[in-house]
Structure 1
């Protein structure tokens, strides 16, 4: 294992290093851009401008596919344009994912609460098989793990007036329609995974999906996307951790039909399509699909060798699909 021996460089020296490797840093205040964004963060956007390694070099270092030298014709401004686009894309996604998270809280509380006011903490109100699955690298089963996580979130929310009210007046027990308000996206997704199949399917059908397990898979994908956005990571050409798989056309409505063909399910287009599909079913007044279409179609930067099709897997003619032309209902 090689010891790290790269020297500290100030912002001007970082600019000089990129320029020495062939990146055109003229036309902008490059040092100011690096002081604002950071060399390493920006390198995620300049990486695609670098010369590919020869195949024999790639096999020696399989985690690295490009050399330090930049291909001719690339500018630092190209990376800054990609960074700005990506930043806007993440903010747009967070807006829709907020709607999804709140909507999921409402539906889980509404459906589970009808069965049991305290169903989130009652194993008997949930799916016995899902609850009994071993919790990998943790003590107990998945219900035990869920309960520890829920109590941790409740403890963190103790300063909230509504939590203190229920803690003091009702012996520290929160009904599910209150409890969901202390849950983050990961927690509410975890609780959804423990619901019995009928409850999962009831919620999924509200959102145009005929199978609750499929919706759970989507929630895992979108939770991964949310974490990327919330932590300000690169999204534009990301290879996602979770795989939504192929969409079964028999369990969704026609405006999602175009993504049932072969698409790279770990590229960004598919989860964006899932967001567009779900958000208008949760909030029919939402203009999010059209806003996304405008963002990608009109504002994707003009960078050589980079496109929404090649790097995000947007299919040809995507902007004409009904999914992206949804007419919002009047509020």
Structure 2
């Protein structure tokens, strides 16, 4: 087992990067040290990893890095830092989209299940027959969440007055994961009701119900990465199948997507997914324009490898066409 690497001063960190081929000529040395101090060598290393040379031949061990320590020619530290800034803003825009989706879905779940009873979320009758154990675990985690939020005015008032918390109140303390897992264990009847409220063209479709479950799981992963400031721009998610019936309110020909598109499982696919959800909430939104403007910003063009975001062959044509079509339809 290897030994941990020793601590290095900021100057020694710069020297180490220079020795591996990184260029600092367009930056004052003190500026470069300040950026390392503000962000951290280790965090930035995730952004310069794609700029390291590939090993030839590639390693057979999957745990071994595919890249060596040396940088591709003309790798500028300033471009690495731009990529970091690009990612920070990307996370903020993505997070705003997810926030709106979370609020929307919690409202739909509360409305549809509130028709059954104020505490329907506790009832095994609404749960898939094969998911009762999962429901027990979910309820245990919910009780922990309630305990953590016992000073919340909404929770406190309902417990003191009714000794119960109705679903339209308790969703206020759910996080995205709580909501995602709850949808996943519901009986099909209630999944269909939620899909109908979300205006899916075929809410009874198995593809829609299953893909919505998978989509919420994906979005929960992305939401957590955003909340914890984890690198996002070239992230990938599990390749559990998402059927394109999920995107039945988007023109997929314009976006150049099909069921086998690898970008569905990269950040490009997450953008399409958030946009599809957003249009179910409101026909008028500037979210896509905001993110497209950010991705197209010439300030970042030399720093961002768009193919690693999942855009087909590094092309932004699909997402630009989607925005163009939306503007045509709403003007």
Please state how far the C-alpha of 1:26 moved relative to its aligned partner: 2.8
C-alpha spacing 1:163/1:62, structure 2 compared with 1 (3 Å): closer
In 2: Cα distance, 1:60 partner to 1:248 partner: 35
Aligned to 2:286: 287
Task: Report the 3-state secondary structure (helix = DSSP H, G, I; strand = E; otherwise coil) of the residue aligned with 2:244.
Answer: coil
List runs of 5+ in structure 1 lacking aligned partners: 133-140
Aligned pair count reads 315
CA distance in 2 between counterparts of 1:202 and 1:321 reads: 32
Aligned match of 2:319:
319
Distance apart, 1:327 and its partner CA: 4.3
Tell me the CA shift for residue 222 of structure 1: 0.8
User: Taking CA–CA contacts closer than 8 Å with sequence separation of 6 or more, which of the two structures ends up with the larger relative contact order?
Assistant: 2
Q: Which residue of 2 aligns with 1:149?
A: 141
* Residue aligned with 2:193, SS: helix
Q: How far does the alpha carbon of each residue in 1:288-327 deviate from its partner, in whole angstroms, 9 at most, with x for none? A: 11111111123572337x531x111223421343366434
- TM-score, normalization by structure 1: 0.88
Distance (Å, rounded) in 1 between the aligned partners of 2:247 and 2:231: 32
Higher mean C-alpha displacement, 60-69 vs 220-229: 60-69
1:105–1:180 Cα contact (<8 Å) kept: yes
Q: Work out whether residues 118 and 176 of structure 1, in 8 Å CA contact, stay in contact via their aligned partners in 2.
A: yes
Give 5+ residue unaligned stretches, structure 2: none
Where does residue 233 of structure 1 map in the other structure?
230
Whole-angstrom distance in 2 between the partners of 1:183 and 1:74: 44
Please list the CA deviations of residues 106-143 of structure 1 after superposition, one character each: whole Å capped at 9, or x if unmatched: 0000001111210111212x1232433xxxxxxxx101
4+ long deviations beyond 6 Å: none
Partner Cα separation in structure 1 for residue 98 and residue 328 of structure 2: 17
1:63-212 counterparts in 2 under 5 A?
A: 63-124=64-125, 126-132=126-132, 141-171=133-163, 173-209=164-200, 210=203, 211-212=208-209
- Is contact 1:51-1:68 (8 Å) kept? yes
Shift, 1:283, TM fit = 3.0
Give CA deviations for 1:174-203 in whole Å, capped at 9, x if unaligned: 010001011100001111112221221222
Query: 1:297–1:148: structure 2 CA closer, same or farther, 3 Å change rule?
Result: same
Structure (1 or 2) with the greater helix fraction: 2
User: Aligned partners of 1:76 and 1:208: how far apart in 2?
Assistant: 47
Query: TM-score by structure 2 length?
Result: 0.88
Tell whether 2:244 aligns with 1:248: yes
d(CA) in 2 for partners of 1:291 and 1:250?
Answer: 23
The equivalent position to 1:307 in structure 2, one of 305, 312, 319, is 305
